[in-house]
Every structure is written in structure tokens, then in C-alpha cells.
Amino acid sequence: MQAQAHLLGAPELANPFLSAEFTLAVGRCRRGVRIAVVREEGEPVAFFPFQRTRLGVGRAIGLGLSDSQGLMHRPGFQWDARELLQACGLAVWEFDHLVEGQKPFEVGARGSFPSPVIDVEQGFEAYLAQLRARSPKFTRTTLAKERKLGRDVGDVRYVHDERDPAVLRTLIGWKSAQYRRTGRSDRFAHARITRLVEQLFHTRGSSCAGLLSVLYCGGRPVAGHFGLRSERVLACWFPAYDTAFAKFSPGLVLHLRMAEGAAAQGLAYLDLGRGEKEYKNSLKTRDLSVSEGWVTRRHPVALGHRVRRAPIRALRNKVLSRPELYGPADRLLRRLGSIRAKN
């Protein structure tokens, strides 16, 4: 992990999902995790983490969970994607959140998507001023709801780095219920994902530290978020709130306080992660770009993988990119979630 530190010259590689700590944590929960080390004159110049099946299908570490993927490398390092796959014994390597600047992998991208961020490098007040100028009604309403929460329920208190594991379990319960309520697959129904989050909660490295941020009201938690922090980036991951307080928009209030806390720690930005969500569009200052797809070398396994995966990804992205399709699909999932909850 110490050898990785000198490879962080490029800003796009500063995300904690690209850290050795995250890869090692996934490796303790999943089989087939490997890290390839590229050396020049005996010195490491690049690290390539991946998950590998017995047939040689490679996937980005934490595919489906990680919001930032790619090869960690020294500034200016060049590589050939097919040669790298062959050296790693891979027929294909699939990604869904490839960071910008990974040109040898980008040739396999099937689509690029915005990943909204909140810039706080100039301080929280500068961000808040920008938010007020761009979305005055949203900012005014959110701050008013925080004041109303304090008046109607009790004193509002924010903890940027909560270390109580019991509060993490509360957040996981909220998030699990949210998944079911909205008809989504419950990630926390899988023990390995719960174990991964619990491990990362106790991780305190400089390039990756688990960060549980909590909004309390009247002495009880009403909203929380668990994410990962590096020296420059807070990667947002699992936000949720107590639905009993939904009318106060505690999740939005929490995100403003997270931005304030991140600015106080000297972070550059909060990465809200890929996905079209109204709250992300309201809070963001700009977008990064991430890609999904796969790189292959000539191999029958690669052909079979592409035949299976391409139609599924194409259909999903078509639905997500078109409001006239996404809206009805989202409402259907919510209705199904409601029926399951009643049963």
C-alpha cells in the first residue's frame, strides 16, 4: 500500500474506490481478487486490481458496487490493454465506472455517463453561495426544513465521523428497507456486502477510510450516510434516512452538512456517484464522466461474455437515459416494492 502512494499524481485516481485498502477489503469477502503489479527497472509503476473467474473472465473490483475503477499508474505511464489482459490470464475485463484518462481501456467503452460532484475545495461558504445562485429556491427550502426539524422535533446535531457500530447497523436497516420499498434488489440481503461495509467502517488508511456521517435530532439519528474518504475525495455510497421524518428532507440536510464537514477537512470534492437522481442534480456543482464496457483479447470466452452481457446493458441504459421509459419503470418497481412490504 505504501508503494501505491507515489502513483496518485492524477486527480482522477484520488478516489478511495481505487485504493489498495478497498481492494484488500473486497478480497476478504470475495474469491478471485488479484492485484497485478507492473514494474519498470524494478520499481512499481502501475497496479491493476481485478476479480477473476476460473474461465478467465475479469471484472473491475467491486463491479456493481464500486463507483470508480481503473488501473492505478504513475503519471505518463502507457500500457497495452490486450497485453495486460494476457499477462493477467484474462480473456475479458468488464467495468461499469471506468474513470477518465484510461485510454487503453476506453476503446472498449459502450457508453459514458455523468457522475455528479460537489466541489468544496474553496470552502463550504463558497459552495453554498454557488448553490444559492444556481438553485435559490432549493437552497432556501432545504435550510428552512432543517430549522423546522429543530423546532418541531428537537435539537439538530451533526456528527461527521460517527464511530458507533450500532448507528451503522441502523443505517443499514434503513437502506435495506429503502431497497425493498422501491422495488430494488436489497444489497444488504447479501452477507458479503454487509461484511464489506463493516470492514471498511473500521478502515482508517490515508487513501481510504470509512466515514459514517449522521444527522441527529432530539438525540436520535434521523439520517445517515456511509462512504469512503481519501485525502482529497469523499466518495458517497450509502445514504438513507428514517422515513418518519421524510417531510423534513433529512437526507438533503445531511448532504449539506457533509459538504461542510468535507470542506473543513480540506477535501476537494464529494463524488455523488453515477446515476440520475433529482437530489444529485440539485446539489452538484459539475460532473465527472465514467464509462462502462469491456476490453477483450481474441478468445472464445470473451466472445461468449460479450454476447451475454451486451443486450442486457444496452436495454438497461436505454431505460435509464430516457425519462419516458425510466419514469414508468421506476413507478412499477415502487408499486412492486409496496406490494412486497404489505405481504
Confidence band, pLDDT 50/70/90 cuts, at residue 10: confident
Confidence band, pLDDT 50/70/90 cuts, at residue 11: confident
pLDDT tens digits, residue range 199-217?
Answer: 999 999 999 999 999 999 9
| pLDDT for the residue 5 | 44
Rounded Cα–Cα distance for residues 89 and 79 (Å): 16
Rounded Cα–Cα distance for residues 79 and 59 (Å): 18
C-alpha cell at 75: 503519471
Which residues are 80's β-sheet partners?
none
Q: Which residue has the cell 485510454?
A: 103
Instruction: Using the predicted structure, report yes or no on whether residue 331 has a pLDDT greater than 60.
Output: no
C-alpha cell at 162: 460517527
Do residues 68 and 100 make contact, with C-beta atoms less than 8 angstroms apart?
Answer: no
Rounded Cα–Cα distance for residues 280 and 206 (Å): 27
The percent of residues in the chain predicted with pLDDT above 90, rounded, is 80
pLDDT tens digits, residue range 20-38?
Answer: 999 999 999 999 999 999 9
Rounded to 10 deg, the angle between the 124-134 and 250-264 helix axes is 140
pLDDT tens digits, residue range 135-165?
Answer: 999 999 999 999 999 999 999 999 999 999 9
Rounded Cα–Cα distance for residues 306 and 298 (Å): 12
Rounded Cα–Cα distance for residues 245 and 247 (Å): 6
C-alpha cell at 63: 463491479
Confidence band, pLDDT 50/70/90 cuts, at residue 54: confident
Instruction: Using the predicted structure, report yes or no on whether residue 224 has a pLDDT greater than 60.
Output: yes
| pLDDT for the residue 325 | 47
Confidence band, pLDDT 50/70/90 cuts, at residue 326: very low
Rounded Cα–Cα distance for residues 333 and 180 (Å): 9
Instruction: Using the predicted structure, report yes or no on whether residue 334 has a pLDDT greater than 90.
Output: no
Instruction: Using the predicted structure, report yes or no on whether residue 223 has a pLDDT greater than 70.
Output: yes
Instruction: Using the predicted structure, report yes or no on whether residue 9 has a pLDDT greater than 90.
Output: no
Classify 111 as helix, strand or coil.
strand
| pLDDT for the residue 55 | 85
Instruction: Using the predicted structure, report yes or no on whether residue 71 has a pLDDT greater than 80.
Output: yes
Instruction: Using the predicted structure, report yes or no on whether residue 308 has a pLDDT greater than 90.
Output: no
Do residues 170 and 221 make contact, with C-beta atoms less than 8 angstroms apart?
Answer: yes
Q: Which residue has the cell 492524477?
A: 10
User: Which range is least confidently modeled, 98-102, 185-189, 214-218, 295-299?
Assistant: 295-299
Kindly report the pTM of this predicted structure. 0.87
User: Which range is least confidently modeled, 9-13, 14-18, 220-224, 283-287?
Assistant: 9-13
Instruction: Using the predicted structure, report yes or no on whether residue 303 has a pLDDT greater than 90.
Output: no
Rounded to 10 deg, the angle between the 191-201 and 165-181 helix axes is 140
| pLDDT for the residue 81 | 96
The percent of residues in the chain predicted with pLDDT above 70, rounded, is 84
**Residues 291-304, mean pLDDT to the nearest whole number:** 78
Mean pLDDT of all residues belonging to the chain: 89
- Of 197, 206, 199, 198, residue with least CA distance to 233: 206
